[in-house]
Amino acid sequence: MFGLTPPAPVMPRDFSACSGCSLCVLVCPMWRARRDPRFSAEGLAKAQQCGATAAELAAPIEACSLCGACDPVCPERIDLSGMIMGLRQRLTNSVPPRTPPPAVLGDLSAMLQKASGAPAAEGAVSRAAPVLLPGPDLRADAELLARVQALVGLVLFDDDGADIVLALELGVEIPHARLHGFLDALRGHSIVAADGLLLRQLRRWLPGSQRMSLGAALSTRAAVRSNLVPSDLYVIEPRAFHGDYERMVGYYDRLQRETGCSLSQDLQRIAIPATSSELGQKLGLVAGDDVQAKWLLQGRKPARIIVENLADRAAFRRVCEIPVLHVAELGEDPEMIKSRPHAFG
Amino acid sequence: MPAGVSSLLTSDQVSALKILPVEPGTVGPCPVASDALQGIKRQQTNPARWNGAGWEAFVAALRATGVELAEGPVACGVYATDAGGTAYGLPHGVVIAHSAAQVAALLKAAQTHRVPVTVRGGGLTTEGESVAFGGVLLDMTGMSRVLNIDATGLTVRTEAGIFWHGLAEELRREGLDYLSAPLNLTSSVGGTLGVGGIDVNSARLGCSADQAISLQVVTPTGEIVECSDSENAELFQRVILGYGQFGVITEATLRIRPYTPLAMRYFYYSSLRTAIEDLQMLDAADASDYSGILTIMDCAVNLLVAFDSDEREAAFRKNWKSKLRGYGEFGFALCMAGHYALRPWRIGEALYLLRRKREVFPEFRRPEYMRNGKMHDRTVVYSRAVWKHWGSRNMVIPDLATSTERFIEAVERGNAVCRRFFPHYTLYCVGIKLRPEHQAHYEMSCVPPGVQDRAYGCEFEPMIEGAVYSRDHFQSFKNAIYDIGVDMGASYYRFGGMMKGYIRRVFGDALVDKHLAMKRQADPAMILNRDVIF
Ligand SMILES: Cc1cc2nc3c(=O)[nH]c(=O)nc-3n(C[C@H](O)[C@H](O)[C@H](O)COP(=O)(O)OP(=O)(O)OC[C@H]3O[C@@H](n4cnc5c(N)ncnc54)[C@H](O)[C@@H]3O)c2cc1C
Ligand code: SF4
Ligand code: SF4
């Protein structure tokens, strides 16, 4: 198991430090879809250097998928996805609000309020026991969830924080009671979470806690690893990867060396997002596009595609005939699963 | 000249000043006299912002042809400066390139309405060459798709706004690689073919501009022309290494090669001269596939050599390694320890060396780029290190390019200048193989006049390290380096933009006037990259 203590964080810098090197443009899915530098972290940083307001930058702020690919490549150590989340907050709070549409916003505040009043999710789970936050997509697939649980051997945590993730995405303020209730319930637990954005935030909110992405937790399992072969393309969930880049790049490098599979990385060793997942697409307001999935496959001919993220499975199934498996579907051998009690074992 | 002053002069006196009348909206002959910068600490050579005459009519005409043009600070702000970060200017509007036809429509309208167009690829110039001081900024990165890879013939056809990194990414998936490119990932193919493109394999393979087989160019008057050494050769000669004066490169066919990881070896020297002698010895003998010098300080010099194959490395070990006078890492550390033990008052230097070593060395050995002792994707490794450890909002990188014979003198004189201006700096030296059949391409370019077989280039890069220097300080530094070039008959990689006052001094009036006449003929309204060179 890889060490879970994060290195001492180096203070991030803000947009004013942008030197215009464009390294963030190279990895940006919203740039790839448009080839217009305004739609990139550099474009947003430079425009702010020229005094642009959040409202003037609404289109790129909404188009950003918060994949976080720009963060680790920035030589000036600017917290770019943090900058964009901040811009989204400013945009959402602007009067009149530009996005999201009031209906979505209303639903979300109702969810947040309801959850603020709900009792904390612990109880059945003892403190310090590792917990699994599978997220709504995986919860909706009972069979796959059972397989995941068998592989990682962790207790399901009742509260996925889905409303918190949505609030983060939309730039909506999270009520204090809701956030603290959620974090207090998680405090002391080791956490495996499917949502990379949540993990990224947990790194800030619960410093020192043990956290792991679901993809990494599953791929540490011998039952999964032993079924990864050189003809596989392994598609990493980008948000969790970029949110903890220095550690994760080493982890997946070892996975690649040990199994021979190829990784969904570019030459900068950044995880290429398989879906653009722009805000409008997530809210179902705009049709999804498959630019990223096609780009990932260009020039590659894997026998199987192994995904950590369920949304990626759907995207690949739309664009190719290659079999697409969730990483949990690789773990077939129950004996191997028994050899280690759980993902943090 | 202010009217008040001219009215005090007789007409004879005015003509004696040789200020020629300039047609409105055009650029006159270079007003910088050949000795104008001598002894002057700083010469502000940024052009004045274009006055915007006829902009509205131009925009209307352009939009009528279906070309999209964005205006306002959000659209223009990203282009406010280049990698140098000392020249600032905003265009009136921005066009993102999508096709040669669209670029042609833009240039035709610009020619008719006399609106300046500044072309930008990666914007990694340092002297403001890709900064628009009014007019249109044409961003070529919109044209960044690979069109065709010929794995058998080993060529690629690509749109010219593509970043070298984007090209490498697509080639790598086919087991292929480009030949040579700048070590920064985000320069574009078109921008690089216009200025040079030096890699650590250029001593063997030449500069990027020499890898171009043919180009699609949109001329300043809006014709779309294919050119190569055999087709429209004169245009090809002018566009290659032509600083965007004679056309916009929209597509390029380049030579490529099979991808190989490389075995990288380092040798350390305490003498710049010895290291350069050894570098030149290796280059002359074709002893390695990659070679270059990177200094931490002038007494801590790193000669890097690398190999594409085990056979080449074995031959190097057998024939050349023992002839090198540099040390391995451990030997050099001992040598330095002895050096500073005898000079304890220079402990600050020793600490700087140690800090730099601790910060920079691991960058070149990151495990995710190493397999079986070989480095993969070297350009990424180097470029990321360059931006991380040398990059800043001010990149001031004057350089000198000379013949093999005069190179050591140029570097030593440049090094003395660096010492005067900055506490810490890096020198980067590489050889550039020249192709005899491309002599016409090299005219008035970074390739020093008269050099035949191999040129050498040295970049002098101050370490800014969070310090704040005035533009005057930077400019004085650059002038001091460039003065060496004038004195030695050298050339420069970055002679346009803010440094264009040196062009006549290094190349002479006759050659510059010849090119200016060609430019006037090709670009009657002088709209294309108009303030960069002339
Ligand atoms: C950190 C750093 C590292 C560098 N390392 C190297 C190195 O290792 N080797 C090296 O050779 N150079 C290096 N350079 C210099 C830089 O790579 C070159 O200036 C660069 O290749 C230019 O490419 P670009 O796309 O950025 O061009 P730009 O800066 O955008 O433009 C360069 C010039 O060409 C014109 N132009 C741009 N695109 C076109 C086009 N399609 N058609 C016609 N004209 C065009 C512009 O108007 C401008 O005059 C470095 C620069 C920096 C800042
Ligand atoms: S988070 Fe992703 S989509 Fe957003 S700017 Fe960064 S790289 Fe682009
Ligand atoms: S990577 Fe960072 S410094 Fe470079 S352009 Fe992007 S935001 Fe600016």
- Residue A315 and residue A309 in contact, taking contact as beta carbons nearer than 8 Å: no
- Residue A235 and residue A309 in contact, taking contact as beta carbons nearer than 8 Å: yes
In chain B, the number of structural domains is: 2
Q: Which two tokens stand for residue A62?
A: 């909404």
pLDDT for position B267:
97
- Whether residues A34 and A62 fall in one domain: yes
- Whether residues A197 and A176 fall in one domain: yes
Ligand 2: centre distance to CA A29 (Å): 7
Kindly determine whether residue A47 and residue B73, on different chains, have CB atoms separated by under 8 Å: yes
Q: Is the CB of A67 under 6 A from ligand 2?
A: yes
- Residue A168 and residue A182 in contact, taking contact as beta carbons nearer than 8 Å: no
Using the predicted structure, report yes or no on whether residue B271 has a pLDDT greater than 70: yes
Using the predicted structure, report yes or no on whether residue B32 has a pLDDT greater than 50: no
Name which of A233, A218, A212, A226 is nearest A144 in CA terms: A218
Would residue B483 count as lying in a domain?
Answer: yes
Q: Which two tokens stand for residue A206?
A: 């619960």
Testing ligand 2's pocket by substitution, the residue of A46, A74, A81, A239 carrying the most ligand atoms inside 8 A of its CB is A81
CA distance A79 to B213: 42
- Residue A297 and residue A291 in contact, taking contact as beta carbons nearer than 8 Å: no
Question: What integer is the mean pLDDT of B36-65?
Answer: 79
Would residue A163 count as lying in a domain?
Answer: yes
- Whether residues B369 and B469 fall in one domain: yes
- Per-residue pLDDT tens over the stretch B400-431: 999 999 999 999 999 999 999 999 999 999 99
Q: Of A175, A207, A239, which residue sits at a domain end?
A: A207
Number of H helices, E strands in chain B: 19, 17
* Three-state DSSP class for residue B120: strand
CA distance A26 to B483: 37
Indicate the pairing of strand A304-307 with strand A324-326.
parallel
- Per-residue pLDDT tens over the stretch B3-12: 444 445 555 5
- Whether residues B280 and B252 fall in one domain: no
CA distance A249 to A217: 15
B425 strand-pairing partners: B462
- Whether residues A87 and A139 fall in one domain: no
Alpha carbon nearest to ligand 3 atom 1, residue: A74
- Whether residues B483 and B376 fall in one domain: yes
- Whether residues A118 and A164 fall in one domain: yes
- Whether residues B183 and B245 fall in one domain: yes
* Three-state DSSP class for residue A156: strand
Name which of A148, A145, A331, A304 is nearest A225 in CA terms: A331
Chain A residue closest in CA terms to B185: A23
- Whether residues B391 and B434 fall in one domain: yes
The Cα-based distances of A173 to A62, A167, B49 in angstroms read 17, 7, 45
- What residue numbers bound the domain in which B249 lies? 146-258
Q: Is the dihedral of CA B293, B296, B297, B301 positive or negative?
A: negative
Q: Of A74, A92, A110, which residue sits at a domain end?
A: A92
Which is higher by pLDDT, A280 or B433? B433
- Whether residues B245 and B375 fall in one domain: no
- Whether residues B252 and B274 fall in one domain: no
pTM of structure: 0.91
- Whether residues A118 and A31 fall in one domain: no
Would residue A188 count as lying in a domain?
Answer: yes
Would residue B10 count as lying in a domain?
Answer: no
- Whether residues B197 and B321 fall in one domain: no
Would residue B509 count as lying in a domain?
Answer: no
- Whether residues A35 and A128 fall in one domain: no
- Residue B534 and residue B516 in contact, taking contact as beta carbons nearer than 8 Å: yes
Ligand 2: centre distance to CA A343 (Å): 30
Question: Which distant-in-sequence residues (6+ apart) come within 8 Å of A37 by Cβ?
Answer: A22, A25, A31, A43, B78, B139, B141
Chain B residue closest in CA terms to A301: B173
Q: Contacts of residue A233 in chain B, CB cutoff 8 Å?
A: none
CA distance B530 to B114: 11
The single residue listed with the structure tokens 């595609």 is: A305
Indicate the pairing of strand A155-156 with strand B136-139.
unpaired
- Residue B153 and residue B107 in contact, taking contact as beta carbons nearer than 8 Å: no
Kindly determine whether residue A250 and residue B139, on different chains, have CB atoms separated by under 8 Å: no
A57 in contact with B at a CB cutoff of 8 Å? yes
Question: What integer is the mean pLDDT of B155-175?
Answer: 97
Instruction: Report helix, strand and coil shares of chain B as percent, to nearest 5.
Output: 40, 20, 40
The Cα-based distances of A43 to B285, B299, B344 in angstroms read 47, 41, 49
In chain A, the number of structural domains is: 2
Residue B140 has what DSSP assignment?
G
Nearest ligand for residue A73 CA: 3
Using the predicted structure, report yes or no on whether residue B314 has a pLDDT greater than 60: yes
- Whether residues B203 and B334 fall in one domain: no
- Whether residues B273 and B381 fall in one domain: yes
Name which of B312, B246, B300, B291 is nearest B270 in CA terms: B300
Name which of B98, B119, B10, B115 is nearest B52 in CA terms: B115
CATH number of the domain where residue B284 is located: 3.40.462
Question: What integer is the mean pLDDT of B288-292?
Answer: 98
A75 prior amide bond cis, ω within 30: no
- Whether residues A203 and A106 fall in one domain: yes
Kindly determine whether residue B76 and residue A57, on different chains, have CB atoms separated by under 8 Å: no
Nearest to A75 among B81, B139, B391 (CB): B391
- Residue B135 and residue B118 in contact, taking contact as beta carbons nearer than 8 Å: yes
Nearest ligand for residue A33 CA: 2
CA distance B156 to B212: 10
The single residue listed with the structure tokens 């380092």 is: B266
Burial of B8 (0-12, 13-18, 19+ CB in 10 A): exposed
Would residue A248 count as lying in a domain?
Answer: no
- Whether residues A85 and A106 fall in one domain: no
DSSP B183-211: TTS-SBHHHHHHH----TTHHHH--GGGG
Would residue B94 count as lying in a domain?
Answer: no
A108: number of Cβ within 10 Å: 18
How far B424 CA lies from chain A's nearest CA (Å)?
A: 20
Angle in degrees, 0-180, between the axes of helices B272-284 and B407-421, rounded to the nearest 10: 150
Which is higher by pLDDT, B324 or A7? B324
Would residue A26 count as lying in a domain?
Answer: yes
- Whether residues B353 and B296 fall in one domain: yes
- Per-residue pLDDT tens over the stretch A284-327: 777 777 899 999 999 999 999 999 999 999 999 999 999 999 99
CA distance B397 to B400: 10
Ligand 1: centre distance to CA B396 (Å): 14
Helices within B391-447 (DSSP H only): 407-421, 439-442
- Per-residue pLDDT tens over the stretch A194-209: 999 999 999 999 998 9
CA distance B445 to B466: 33
- Residue B127 and residue B498 in contact, taking contact as beta carbons nearer than 8 Å: yes
Q: Of A207, A234, A254, which residue sits at a domain end?
A: A207
- Whether residues A119 and A85 fall in one domain: no
CA distance B445 to B240: 9
B156 in contact with A at a CB cutoff of 8 Å? no
Chain B residue closest in CA terms to A252: B368
How far A40 CA lies from chain B's nearest CA (Å)?
A: 10
- Residue A324 and residue A317 in contact, taking contact as beta carbons nearer than 8 Å: yes
Kindly determine whether residue A267 and residue B77, on different chains, have CB atoms separated by under 8 Å: no
Amino acid in position B482: Y
Kindly determine whether residue B368 and residue A43, on different chains, have CB atoms separated by under 8 Å: no
Which is higher by pLDDT, A127 or B493? B493
- Whether residues B231 and B288 fall in one domain: no
B284: number of Cβ within 10 Å: 13
Degrees to nearest 5, angle at CA B441 with B438 and B444:
135
- Whether residues A110 and A202 fall in one domain: yes
Would residue A126 count as lying in a domain?
Answer: yes
CATH number of the domain where residue B187 is located: 3.30.465.10
Would residue B525 count as lying in a domain?
Answer: no
Query: pLDDT (tens digit, 0 to 9) for every residue of chain A, 345 residues total?
Result: 333 333 444 566 889 999 999 999 999 999 999 999 999 999 999 999 988 999 999 999 999 999 999 999 999 999 999 999 999 999 988 876 665 565 666 677 777 777 776 666 554 556 668 899 999 999 999 999 999 999 998 989 999 999 999 999 989 989 999 999 999 999 999 999 999 999 999 999 999 899 999 999 999 999 899 999 999 999 999 999 999 999 999 999 999 999 999 999 999 999 999 987 777 777 777 777 789 999 999 999 999 999 999 999 999 999 999 999 999 999 764 544 455 444 454
Residue A272 has what DSSP assignment?
P
pLDDT for position A37:
95
Number of H helices, E strands in chain A: 20, 8
- What residue numbers bound the domain in which A153 lies? 102-207
A22 in contact with B at a CB cutoff of 8 Å? yes
ipTM score here?
A: 0.89
- Per-residue pLDDT tens over the stretch A244-280: 999 999 999 999 999 999 999 999 999 999 987 777 7
Would residue B406 count as lying in a domain?
Answer: yes
Question: What integer is the mean pLDDT of B324-334?
Answer: 93
Would residue B57 count as lying in a domain?
Answer: no
Ligand 2: centre distance to CA A266 (Å): 15
The single residue listed with the structure tokens 């020619």 is: B111
- Whether residues A110 and A185 fall in one domain: yes
With b for 16 or more beta-carbon neighbours within 10 A and e for fewer, the B131-159 pattern comes to bbbbbbbbbbbbbbebeebeeeeebbbbb
B83 in contact with A at a CB cutoff of 8 Å? yes
- Per-residue pLDDT tens over the stretch B495-529: 899 999 899 999 999 999 999 999 999 999 999 99
Q: Is the dihedral of CA A301, A303, A305, A306 positive or negative?
A: negative
Indicate the pairing of strand A155-156 with strand B425-433.
unpaired
Question: Looking at B21-154, which runs of residues are DSSP E strands?
Answer: 93-96, 117-120, 136-139, 146-150
Using the predicted structure, report yes or no on whether residue B45 has a pLDDT greater than 70: no
Would residue B237 count as lying in a domain?
Answer: yes
- Whether residues A47 and A133 fall in one domain: no
Nearest ligand for residue A24 CA: 3
pLDDT for position A127:
65
pLDDT for position B467:
86
Kindly determine whether residue A50 and residue B77, on different chains, have CB atoms separated by under 8 Å: yes
